[in-house]
């Protein structure tokens, strides 16, 4: 089994904190937040789609080949996701997928993950892949969790618990790769130009984000969309030249991300929300571009093709059941046509936890925990 530990990254120049994560053990005795609630897509899904009638599932090997037990869990990686590592850095245990909590008997008081592969900000995003939870549906699913939490705490305690808990939101990627960039399946690209589409996404995103605020959350981390023009799927589909990304696609992602930053600024200065809450933008786009531009600084050798997949850039067909992946997975940025390896995920998590304002704006997670 390959290990992915902080110790293996000690030469990374931005690495400011030594935290032992070897073997999945958490070194902190006290969690920095009482709980973490995750809303997102396949980048952070930890098993919800296992229970759905969906083509977007990863409950088979070689997914999970480097996870504890060398078994698939529904995570779209060879091992841990970004939020798995963030949870460990914050001193939290592994949190359950929402679908694993519906029958009861599962601890939900330290957080729940609602993320769903193929899910997006827009309700129709990913519909060609079958069942999935959109952002709106994920918020609805949280309401069921909140009812259970409210049964186990006094009202005053619930309010304090919610205000101190961490919310991680990572959505928007599928609204491009499983909606706007598939003109044969969706009409959005014929109705909206890229700027108007980014505006549409932000409007819907803001509505759902404020719904979560209205339910009592006060500490938010909002991840930007990654450089989608650099993922193997897009490199293969658009026949990108070797060493180059699809700039037109990256520019679309930046349009949306720029609006997210403006939203964070607006919410942090609004007289109502700013007095009670803090919203943080996680610059996953910038961090990913840095890694792709300077791969050797981070221990990577392969940046333009998946470790597991078929066809050009190993991105035309994503990782199939029992496929044989590459041997040196920690040297690859991408695990399959769409998703990064756990080695990449660890770097992003560390930058979110203790990085500069260019990584997490206006403050990082470590700073957020002290507010």
Query: What residues are annotated to the active site?
Result: 42, 336, 339
Alpha-carbon torsion angle 238, 313, 76, 34, nearest 10: -80
Q: Which helix (H) or strand (E) holds 160?
A: helix 155-164
C-alpha–C-alpha distance, residues 302 and 310, integer Å = 16
CB-based burial of residue 190 (10 Å sphere; 0-12 exposed, 13-18 middle, 19+ buried)?
A: exposed
**Are 349 and 340 within 8 A, CB to CB?**
no
Between the CA atoms of 170, 174, 177 and 179, what dihedral angle is there, to the nearest 10 degrees?
Answer: -150
Q: Which residues pair with 220 in a beta bridge?
A: 167, 279
DSSP letter string, 263-301? HHHHHHHSTTTTTT-EEEEE-HHHHHHHHHHSGGGGT--
- Round to the nearest angstrom and report the end-to-end CA distance of the chain: 39
* 305-319 burial code (b ≥16 CB/10 A, e <16): bbbbbeeebbbbebb
Contacts of 162 (CB under 8 A, 6+ apart): 215, 216, 217, 218
d(CA 240, CA 230): 9
The contacts of residue 26 (CB under 8 Å, 6+ apart) are 88, 91, 92, 93
DSSP code, position 241? P
């Amino acid at each position: 089994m390959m290990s992915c530990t902080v110790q293996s990254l000690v030469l990374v120049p931005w690495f400011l904190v030594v935290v032992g994560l070897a073997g999945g053990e958490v070194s902190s005795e006290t969690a920095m937040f009482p709980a973490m609630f995750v809303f997102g897509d396949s980048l952070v899904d930890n098993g919800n789609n296992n229970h759905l009638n969906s083509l977007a599932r990863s409950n088979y090997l070689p997914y999970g080949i480097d996870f504890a037990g060398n078994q698939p869990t529904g995570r779209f990686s060879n091992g841990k996701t970004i939020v798995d590592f963030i949870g460990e850095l914050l001193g939290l245990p592994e949190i359950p997928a929402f679908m694993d909590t519906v029958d009861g008997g599962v601890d939900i008081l330290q957080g729940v993950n609602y993320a769903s592969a193929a899910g997006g900000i827009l309700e129709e995003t990913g519909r060609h892949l079958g069942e999935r939870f959109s952002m709106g549906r994920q918020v609805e699913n949280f309401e069921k969790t909140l009812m259970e939490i409210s049964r186990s705490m006094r009202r005053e305690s619930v309010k304090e618990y919610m205000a101190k808990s961490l919310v991680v939101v990572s959505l928007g990627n599928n609204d491009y790769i499983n909606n706007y960039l598939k003109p044969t399946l969706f009409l959005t690209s014929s109705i909206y130009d890229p700027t108007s589409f980014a505006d549409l996404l932000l409007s819907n995103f803001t509505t759902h984000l404020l719904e979560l605020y209205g339910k009592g959350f006060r500490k938010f981390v909002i991840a930007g969309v990654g450089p989608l023009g650099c993922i193997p799927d897009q490199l293969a589909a658009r026949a990108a030249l070797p060493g180059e990304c699809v700039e037109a696609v990256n520019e679309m992602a930046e349009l949306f991300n720029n609006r997210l930053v403006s939203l964070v600024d607006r919410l942090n200065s609004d007289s109502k929300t700013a007095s009670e809450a803090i919203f943080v933008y996680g610059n996953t786009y910038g961090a990913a571009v840095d890694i792709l531009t300077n791969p050797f600084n981070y221990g990577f050798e392969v940046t333009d093709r998946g470790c597991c997949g078929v066809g050009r850039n190993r991105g035309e067909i994503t990782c199939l059941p029992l496929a044989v992946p590459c041997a040196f997975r920690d040297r690859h940025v991408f695990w399959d046509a769409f998703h990064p390896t756990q080695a990449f995920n660890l770097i992003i998590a560390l930058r979110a936890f203790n990085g500069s304002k260019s990584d997490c704006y206006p403050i990082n997670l470590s700073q957020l925990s002290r507010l």
